[in-house]
Amino acid sequence: MNVMDLLYGELASFLSQAIVVVMVALMFVISLRLFLDRRKKGYMSMTISLVFVALQYILQLYLTVRGIHSSLTDYAQHMLKIISFVLINMGIYQLYNRTSRKQYIFFYGLIIMGFVVSVLHFSVPSLYNGTEQQVRLLQDIGLELYVFVLIFLCFYMIPPYIGQQLKYQLALTIYFFYQSIHLVNAYMYGDVQPVLTFADNLLPILFYFLLFMLLFERVVELMQAIYNSSITDGLTRLYNRKFFYNRVSQHVQRHLPVYILFSDIDNFKKLNDTQGHQMGDNVLKQVAQIMKDEAEECGIAGRYGGEEMVVMVSDPSVKMDAFAERIRSRIEKETIVTASIGYSKYKNGLSAEELIKQADEAMYRAKTTGKNKVVKFS
């Protein structure tokens, strides 16, 4: 064994196929686990497509090791290649979208069209009288060219509907170059041009590596979305009460100088009764956005319950009276409601619960002494 065998020989082809099988196996485990946990069609399609990819490359490995080449094995490899390519792209589409009957017809229609094109494979021997090598190449040309049709269709039709568009298009571009180099090497150089053979072995690895990264990053996106939904309020997108309380507790336990601002929208029940719950929800979102904007650089904002929203200010340089007044003023100017606001400052010996309760009591005094004002706990 020498370096040339590793780069251009049959061993290079074997290593390339083995690496792809390993990556496909990892993708299969991830996809199967996602399907078992979430039962989404996208993960099922991805899992099934990876089975076909694995079959394709395991067959190639077997044929490479045994040195078998025949018309039937060539046909099986090409059809597995087309089926797996269509299914894996359908799986990527379904990772981000619900699939209607129209999309199923499109993707499965591409597979059926592959079988139609494959008729050429069986027709050539009776129509063309050439050498065995010439007949075999001519048999394969229809399916090889059909792969280009699939690449272009997927390149232009799928990216607008998925995330990670650039990574997906880069993967298809690599696959396009792989298919082009594969054809040039096979039909012009008889699979013996060293540089083309090296690229023919390398590019599939890059293609499946990008698909692996795409699937992995989609898993990260889903995990992040699940985590965010567990710590935020669904309507306002502010942190929920549990998360906010835990963060306050962390600061209090470390004796950090924090302020708690507690706000309550004035006459909110009357607004719901007279203008409807949709208007009430819109107002909550508007007020929440003001809270989030103001707290972005100095703390965190949360929804404590109903129309009550809170802010923990952890930046000791913030002048709390001006900060609270700015929030009150923005709510009055930018929405159709006003808010009563109270705030308190952490002192040694206070618990998180007591600190929040003090801010709540200050808000209650603002509410009962005229509303639409800011009161400091004392």
pLDDT in tens, 317-373: 999 999 999 999 999 999 999 999 999 999 998 999 999 999 999 999 999 999 999
- What is the pTM for the complete model shown? 0.70
Say what percent of the chain tops pLDDT 70.
91
Other CB atoms closer than 10 Å to residue 226's CB: what's the count? 10
Cα gap 284→173, rounded to integer Å:
46
Indicate the helix (H) or strand (E) that contains 325. helix 320-334
Contact 337, 271 (CB under 8 A): yes
CA distances for 226 relative to 53, 215, 231, 301, angstroms: 30, 17, 9, 20
Residues 222-267 pLDDT 10s:
788 888 888 988 898 999 999 999 999 999 999 999 999 999 999 9
Q: Is the dihedral of CA 227, 232, 234, 238 positive or negative?
A: negative
Q: Is the pLDDT of residue 271 over 70?
A: yes
Residues 6+ apart with CB under 8 A from 233: 239, 240, 288, 302, 303
Contact 332, 341 (CB under 8 A): no
Tokens of 202: 């390398």
- State the first-to-last Cα distance of the chain, in angstroms, to the nearest integer: 84
Q: Which residue has the tokens 């103001």?
A: 294
Say what percent of the chain tops pLDDT 90.
46
In the chain the domains, ranked by start, together with CATH numbers, are 3-231 (1.20.1070.10), 241-376 (3.30.70.270)
CA angle 312, 292, 265 (to 5 degrees): 80
Q: Is the pLDDT of residue 142 over 80?
A: yes
Where is pLDDT greater, at 318 or 68? 318
Question: Which range (118-122, 136-140, 279-283, 337-341) has the least confidence?
Answer: 136-140
Residues 187-233 pLDDT 10s:
787 767 788 888 888 899 999 999 999 888 888 887 888 888 889 88
Residues 6+ apart with CB under 8 A from 251: 258, 312, 314, 346, 352
The band of 147, judged by pLDDT with boundaries at 50, 70 and 90, is: very high
- Classify 24 in phi/psi space as left (phi over 0), alpha (psi -120 to 50) or beta: alpha
What's the confidence (pLDDT) of residue 200? 85
The band of 143, judged by pLDDT with boundaries at 50, 70 and 90, is: confident
Q: Is the pLDDT of residue 378 over 90?
A: no
Where is pLDDT greater, at 65 or 145? 145
Sheet holding 299-305, edge to edge: 299-305, 308-313, 259-265, 339-345, 374-376
The band of 3, judged by pLDDT with boundaries at 50, 70 and 90, is: low
**Residue of 371, 373, 360, 375 lying closest to 266 (CA atoms):** 371
